[in-house]
């Protein structure tokens, strides 16, 4: 009987250890975004975006581009500033900011900006492609997955945008729509982050 109890106790300890270990691994996510109640404007307080005390590397992913069927891997873009925009066709605020993104890609692409649109639509690919064609989108549209969204803290609302610096660290995340100058300012900050480090960590962007 005693031996049985000891064995069971060992089993419970082993299960606990395994669960805690798994949880620790799963903890490597971008923290959950803070929802904002109104559109972010340049004059708004920075509480509208999510400050993070420690710069975090944007979790790597490989997603299929709906534009050409190729896989796009985030880590292959190291050295560029990357704007990851989670969106969906049913999302009005997402649609409204698309022209900003198109313009930013056009103007800052030559300086090293790469915008990635990650669609969270469940709908058919053709409809998504047609939608982005109508919107004149000039950056890759990737089919998002739940796993990938989870790695970014779980995408609770759309749009959600992550600004990733050249070093691969997240400069800022925005939940909800924002005005164009806010995007532009954050794109500039992401471009200024050197490939080797994070001179412009999120603390510096939040006075």
Partner 1 sequence: MKLLYSLVLLTAVMTGVFAAGQESPARQGRTFVTALPVNPVAVSPGRRTPVDFTFRVESGYHINSSQPLGEELIPTQLHFSLPGEMAVGKIQYPAGELMDFPFDPKTKLSVYSGDFVVHGLIVAPTAAALGTYTVHGELRYQACDNNACYPPKKLPFTFDVKISPAVKRIPKARPNAASPHIHN
CA distance 93 to 183: 14
Q: Does 76 bind partner 1 (CB under 8 A)?
A: no
Q: Does 149 bind partner 1 (CB under 8 A)?
A: yes
Strand-pairing partners, residue 141, are 117
Count the alpha carbons within 13 Å of 120 in the hemisphere toward its beta carbon: 21
Burial class of residue 53 in the structure, from the number of CB atoms within 10 Å of its CB (0-12 exposed, 13-18 middle, 19+ buried): exposed
Distance CA 170, CA 175 (A): 14
The correct pick among 61, 100, 108, 131 for binding partner 1 (CB under 8 A) is 131
Residues in the interface with partner 1 (CB under 8 A) total: 44
* 4 is an interface residue for partner 1 by CB under 8 A: yes
Which CB atom, from 51 or from 123, has the smaller least distance to partner 1? 123
State yes or no: residue 39 binds partner 1 (CB under 8 A). Answer: yes
**Are the CB atoms for 205 and 46 separated by under 8 Å?**
yes
Stretch 150-179 residues interacting with partner 1 (CB under 8 A): 150, 153-159, 175-177
* Residues making contact with partner 1 (CB under 8 A): 4-5, 8-9, 11-12, 15-16, 19, 22-23, 26, 32, 35-39, 88-96, 120, 122, 127, 131, 146, 149-150, 153-159, 175-177
């Amino acid at each position: 009987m005693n031996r049985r109890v000891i064995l069971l106790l060992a089993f419970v300890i082993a299960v606990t250890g395994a669960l805690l270990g798994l949880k620790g691994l799963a903890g490597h996510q971008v923290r959950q975004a803070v929802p904002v109640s109104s559109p972010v404007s340049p004059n708004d307080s920075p509480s509208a975006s999510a400050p993070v005390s420690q710069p975090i590397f944007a979790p790597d992913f490989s997603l299929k581009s709906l534009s050409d069927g190729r896989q796009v891997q985030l880590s292959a873009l190291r050295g560029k500033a990357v704007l990851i925009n989670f969106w969906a066709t049913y999302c009005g605020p997402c649609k409204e900011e698309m022209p900003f993104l198109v313009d930013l890609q056009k103007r800052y692409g030559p300086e090293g900006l790469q915008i990635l649109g990650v669609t969270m639509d469940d709908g058919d690919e053709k409809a998504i492609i047609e939608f982005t064609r109508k919107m004149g989108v000039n950056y890759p549209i990737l089919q998002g997955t739940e796993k990938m969204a989870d790695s970014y803290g779980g995408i609770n609302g759309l749009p959600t945008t992550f600004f990733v610096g050249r070093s691969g660290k997240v400069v800022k995340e925005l939940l909800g729509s924002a005005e164009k100058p806010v995007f532009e300012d954050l794109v500039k900050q992401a471009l200024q982050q050197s490939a080797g480090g994070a001179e412009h960590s999120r603390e510096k962007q939040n006075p």
